[in-house]
Amino acid sequence: LLLLLPLLLVPVALLARWRRGQRTPSVKVLVVAGSGGHTTEILRLLSCLSESYSPRHYVFADSDKMSEAKIRSFEQERAETFPNSQFTLDRIPRSREVRQSWTSSVVTTLYSILYSLPLTYRLKPDVVLCNGPGTCVPVCLSALLLRLLGIKKAIIVYVESICRVETLSLSGKILYYFSDYFIVQWPELKEKYHKSIYLGRIV
């Protein structure tokens, strides 16, 4: 986890230059959560971040029934250490259901992107942090579009799930080309994907 901190502190250094008049610059983080292990892993990553990473805007699929409870529990515990900590929760349509056909997945993903774009525009995050759920694809593409339009440059940090040892997830295969930092947790993946950053096991 300590190895990950210098990487995620890059946005802080950039913001410090942009906001020299502020003593404690904050970093707005858009966190994409996913059902099951994805949310557990992403919350473990967030636990090592300082209070400067606030507010944290959580986004998850509207059919996800577990993430909200996990996030609220995590934030409640975090508030004991950082009383001024802030967070929000937002739901978007799921881009792809399990076993959904590829043809229909294109349609639902486009719909999810259209839904994500105004949300990302409103939040204007400094960092987008995700680790593989399908929901992260439309969110990251929306953030990328805002960058291309010159509206807001958000640094996209993708952390591949620990369960991915030899092959990337579908989300990883897509966002490998668009993320600013692509982190893997197994050396086998680093050998195959040279752009990736191998830090060992970080969750």
* Segment 3-60, tens digit of pLDDT: 554 455 555 445 544 455 555 579 999 999 987 788 999 999 999 999 999 999 999 9
Residue 192 lies in a domain: yes
Going by pLDDT thresholds of 50, 70 and 90, the confidence category of residue 94 is: confident
Going by pLDDT thresholds of 50, 70 and 90, the confidence category of residue 143 is: very high
Domains contained in the chain, number: 1
Work out the percent of the chain whose per-residue pLDDT is above 70: 84
Residue 80 lies in a domain: yes
Residue 9 lies in a domain: no
* Overall average pLDDT of the 97-115 stretch: 77
User: Residue 6: what pLDDT?
Assistant: 47
| N- to C-terminal Cα separation, the chain | 7
Residue 100 lies in a domain: yes
- Domain residues for the domain of 122 are 52-198
Going by pLDDT thresholds of 50, 70 and 90, the confidence category of residue 107 is: confident
Residue 14 lies in a domain: no
- Model pLDDT for residues 160-184, shown as the tens digit of each residue: 999 999 999 989 999 999 999 999 9
Positive or negative torsion for Cα 175, 197, 157, 20: negative
* Overall average pLDDT of the 103-115 stretch: 83
* Overall average pLDDT of the 58-74 stretch: 93
What's the mean per-residue pLDDT of the chain?
86
- Please count the other Cβ atoms lying within 10 Å of the Cβ belonging to residue 154: 25
Residue 7 lies in a domain: no
Residue 121 lies in a domain: yes
Q: Report how far residue 25's alpha carbon sits from residue 58's, in angstroms, rounded to the nearest whole number.
A: 20
Q: What is the CATH number of the domain that holds 81?
A: 3.40.50
Residue 76 lies in a domain: yes
